Structure 1
Amino acid sequence: MSTATTNIGLAKKTSKELAEKLNTLLAAYQVFYQNVRGFHWNIRGDKFFTLHAKFEELYTDSLTKIDEIAERILTLGFTPAHAFSDYIEHSLINEVTHESKDAACVQHVLSGLQTLIEIEREVSSISDEVGDDGTNDLITTYIREQEKLVWMYNAFLR
């Protein structure tokens, strides 16, 4: 193994760029997770039972992805962000507070998913370019799952 490569044989320079982009994704996921958790807790109205359960599914899945992203950053040889101040500073998803209306919550979920997909496509592009199949496999699975969720939440709003 060369000093220019990581423990898994990837170039350190490009792995650092990838880890930084993964930290951006991690920050977005953390804020998305907390937003959805808040929607789950605070949802009101005639769609309560449906959305309360759906939001729980979504935040539970997000929590798994948060752990996988952090572990991938570590696998690349870098440190995942782990302070909420870092997440707020670097997230491309804004905090949503005091929202309990069903359509507004779903719209925020859609917006968050679309932002996550945008970041994931950037990560996928970089990981594909540098031959990081592990990261690429992880992220393309997320994209496929979230594209379906975008379709489903859009259908709900119609």
Structure 2
Amino acid sequence: MSYQKSKAVLNQLVADLSQFATIIHQTHWYMRGEDFLTLHPKMDEYMDEINDQLDEVAERLITIGGAPYSTLAEFAAHTNLGDETGTYQKSTEERMARLVEGYRYLQALYGKGIEVSGEEGDDVTQDMLIACKGAVEKNIWMLQAKLGKSPEVDTVEIEVKIKG
């Protein structure tokens, strides 16, 4: 089986996970305030987790005969996550809300990947994506708790476009 839809979603994830790692890194660098000592090292954990997911997704894509994006130009051309210039003017709450937005997008993209890999009978990819989606939902819960909100992982719908 060629797993064409799975390959497309996996490559979309490569672009978006690469961009999201940069968003987290920017949060890490430009963060200030009373929560700095707690949140600054937490961003390292988030970056490590996203980079681990990126590596796993790209390696799975290669395993099923795909070719992951691998340049900054490709990531920028294919990501659905936007850029923002770094600034020290954003509050911690604004930074955490931006991370929630990115994680919610990844949650939806992982959901799309679970759907298409299931349709194609790609059980290994589906299993990997289910685990990644669970990790993303846990981070949404924790960031939402920091913002004084409920997780709402089952109530937010985001449209996902596959650019590949």
Q: How does 1:96-115 map to 2 (within 5 A)?
A: 96-100=84-88, 101-115=91-105
Amino acid at match of 1:109: L
Superposed CA offset, 1:3-59 (max 9, x none): xxxxxxxx11xx122111111111110000011011112210111011101111000
Amino acid at match of 1:91: T
Q: Which residue of 2 aligns with 1:58?
A: 46
SS of residue paired to 1:95? coil
Shift of 1:130: 1.3
CA separation in 2, counterparts of 1:70 and 1:99? 31
CA separation in 1, counterparts of 2:80 and 2:27? 19
Q: CA RMSD in A?
A: 1.1
CA separation in 1, counterparts of 2:84 and 2:8? 25
Range that drifts further, 108-117 or 16-25: 16-25
Which ranges of structure 2 fall in alignment gaps of 5 or more residues? 149-164
Q: Which residue of 1 aligns with 2:55?
A: 67
The higher radius of gyration belongs to 1
Q: Structure 1 or 2: larger helix share? A: 1
SS of residue paired to 2:39? helix
Q: How does 1:123-134 map to 2 (within 5 A)?
A: 123-134=113-124
Identity of counterpart residues, as a percentage? 27
TM-score (norm. length: structure 1): 0.88
Which ranges of structure 1 fall in alignment gaps of 5 or more residues? 1-10
Query: Does the 8 Å contact 2:6/2:120 carry over to 1?
Result: no
Q: Which of 125, 128, 132 is equivalent to 1:135?
A: 125
